[in-house]
Amino acid sequence: MSTTASVGTASAEGGGGGDVAPPSATASADTPMTGADGVPEGTSPDKPASPPGAVATTTAASTGKDAASAATFLFASESVTESHPDKLCDVISDAIVDACLTLDPASRIACETVCKTGVVIVLGEITTSASINYEQVIRDAVRDAGYDDPAKGLDYKTCNVIVALEEQSPDIAQSVDAAKVEDIGAGDSCIVFGYACEETPEFMPLSHVLATKLSARLAEVRKDGTLDWIRPDGKTQVTLEYANNESGVPVPKRVHSIVISAQHSEEVSNDKIAADLMEHVVKPVVPSQYLDESTLYHMNPSGRFVIGGPHSDAGLTGRKSNVDTYGGWGSYGGGALSGKDATKTDRSGAYAARWVAKSLVANGYCARCKVQLSYAIGLSHPMSVYICTYGTCTNKNGMAERDLVKMV
């Protein structure tokens, strides 16, 4: 099983109803952002609230619809391909996690990666009984990400690999390790968030799901040869027009705009790039009912994206937090989700919070849900549990919002 960094999935199989088994540190996850308490100013956690940024309501000029602009708001989510420099670093860090846990499930791992032109640096703390050829693991991950030529921004065969790993601090180890799994302490103090909503079968925001699927499609058409001009690096952004229903729940109405930036070979024309991306990326992913004559499309708006990957931008583990979580919805605790074993609760705790939020929505206790958990280093149970249903608690089985906290 490969380790993935996201807290939720962007496929239908990630959203089954009913209780969902909590994912392990080698499963997947997702997350969002708002203010310190995750609730826009002037609102209460117990009352319906538009997502952060909703005050920047669209105007008639931006939508062409006076009435719609007064009653709706725009919200955008972005994603990146698996080979974007930051995401490449996530992939490398998690490849090392997988290699260690495969041979020694008790490994303790905190692994960061940075990459730039011709170089990949891995640093952190790892305690394991496994014998790992870290350089080979790193080169294999770079190869699988599609970087096999300096012209693409990095070459797995010739890049310089620097490994600077030490053992985990014994001070941390003595506070975490325990004879029983249930007694293992948190590897660090942190706060984490989980989020879920009814917008999609995955119980994820539609803006986030569409952006994520578009980025995944960019990688797919590169790997299967559908678009021979496409290179590994890429980014997507989807802006949706939402309207709150009578219960105050944001409901997606239409796609306002789609932005795709795809790294490409030297010889391909901008017209072909735009046509190919529309035909082979946008159309297979975005449901036609959300597209209309006013939807805006920006395909490679910079006009040129030949230089990409680590050659264009340095990459760093954990720098695509909203991509890994909820596309800007809900809240985000601040810790990276990649390069860590399950004792690092800013990763495993984020997965658990997502599992709780998803289970509450899937079982009909609310239409939207945000869960916050806090952890203290060395302690095996959360310090606090907070649940916000944005005023959508259904009181199923007589359970009000405060009762959901007790149930959790």
Which residues participate in catalysis according to the annotation?
Answer: 84, 86-87, 112, 125, 235, 305, 313-314, 319-320, 340, 344, 346
Q: Output the six-digit token pair for 250.
A: 């944001």
Cα 126 off chain centre by:
24
Residue type, 158: T
Tokens 């670093």 correspond to 89
358-393 burial code (b ≥16 CB/10 A, e <16): bbbbbeebbbbbbbbbbbbebebebeebbbbbbbbb
- In angstroms, rounded to a whole number, what is the distance separating the alpha carbons of residues 311 and 241? 36
The one-character DSSP state at 396 is G
- In angstroms, rounded to a whole number, what is the distance separating the alpha carbons of residues 185 and 181? 9
Four-CA torsion 38, 43, 46, 50, nearest 10 degrees: -70
List beta partners, residue 47: none
